[in-house]
Amino acid sequence: MFRPFNKLILVAAGLTAPLITDPGIAASHPTATAPSIAEVGALRDETGMAASATQVLDRWCTSHRMAPAGAVIAEKIANKPVPATAQLRHALQLKASDRLQLRHVRLRCNGHVLSVARLWYVPSRLPASMEARLQQTDTPFGKVVAPMHLDRQSAGSSSAWLPKGGGPTAKTPPPILFSQRALMSRADGLPIAYVVEDYQRGLLGFTPD
């Protein structure tokens, strides 16, 4: 029997990794209109509740005519085994023999950087074919593991620009619009991955109607 998820444990354990700004868009300054501000707030809520952030971003790109459906890719920054911190060992319920892998990617559609994500996962808990696909392709993690129907549970979100219940703190959107943290588990409760996602200003790189 695996321990039930408690997002307070992750927050208390310090699994609120620092925000990562994508250097490729640091000089880009899309304009934030009232409708786009409202949409960013809705996107934050949706990514916090969704089973797959990749699917949410794919719909965003399609609905804003940034790219055709299915165009979101995961550009790898790093994909390597890493030592497990005590916090990750606790959150992912790791055994001494479990290996931990870090997949650090930029999620893009048609040149737009949508988010920078760091995902720590346990390769031995995935089918070998899925692990091979994660190693060899730019397919987003959520799309690769979709057949497993993982339960994605929020461990919290944050935004210095758009606090919940309030308006934007600046007229120009910052490089990072908001961040999400989540634990992904099997139906029986066994954790598979922990992810930190920093949603980038490139989300606003569409042409308004």
Integer Cα distance of 161 and 116 in angstroms: 17
For residue 194, the one-letter residue type is Y
CATH fold of the domain at 7-15+30-204: Chorismate lyase (3.40.1410)
Q: What does each of the 209 residues of the chain score in pLDDT, given as a tens digit?
A: 555 555 544 543 446 555 555 544 434 555 667 778 889 999 999 999 999 999 999 999 999 999 999 999 999 999 999 999 999 999 999 999 999 999 999 999 999 999 999 999 999 999 999 999 999 999 999 999 999 999 999 999 999 898 877 778 888 889 999 999 999 999 999 999 999 999 999 999 887 76
Q: What is the model's pTM?
A: 0.84
- Cβ distance 62 to 68 under 8 Å? yes
Integer Cα distance of 152 and 162 in angstroms: 23
Instruction: Give the residue extent of every domain in the chain.
Output: 7-15+30-204
